[in-house]
Amino acid sequence: MAQHFRGSYGVTITPFTEGGKAIDIPAWKRFIDWQLKERVPGIIILGTTGEFLTLTDDERTMFVEETVKYVDKRMHVLVGSMNAYTPNAVRYSVEAEKLGADGLMIIPPYYYTPTEDEIFAYYQAICEKVSIPIMLYNNPYTSNVDMPAKLVGRLTRSFEQIRYIKEASQDMARVYDIVEETQGVMNVFAGQRIVESYLYGAVGYVNPYGNYIPRASTVICDWCAEKRWEDAKKIERLINRIYAIIQEGHPTYGHQCYSKALAAAQGYPVGDVRAPLTTFAELGSEGEARVAKVMAVIREMDALVDKIESGSRPAGIAAE
Catalytically active residues, by annotation: 137, 166
Ramachandran angles phi, psi of 206, nearest 5°? -100, 125
> In the chain, what is the straight-line distance between the N-terminal and C-terminal CA atoms, in Å?
33
3-state secondary structure 10-62: EECCCCECHHHCCECHHHHHHHHHHHHHCCCCEEEECCCCCCHHHCCHHHHHH
Task: Return all residues near 200 (Cβ < 8 A) that are at least 6 apart.
Answer: 172, 173, 175, 176, 179, 188
46 close to 82: Cβ distance less than 8 angstroms: no
* Number of Cβ atoms within 10 Å of the Cβ of 104: 28
Residue 215's nearest CA partner among 266, 260, 165, 261 is 266
Helix (H) or strand (E) holding 239: helix 229-247
Residues pairing with 78 in the sheet: 44, 103
Largest separation between any pair of C-alpha atoms in the chain: 60
Task: Return all residues near 244 (Cβ < 8 A) that are at least 6 apart.
Answer: none
Alpha-carbon distances, residue 108 vs 111, 142, 250 (angstroms): 10, 10, 26
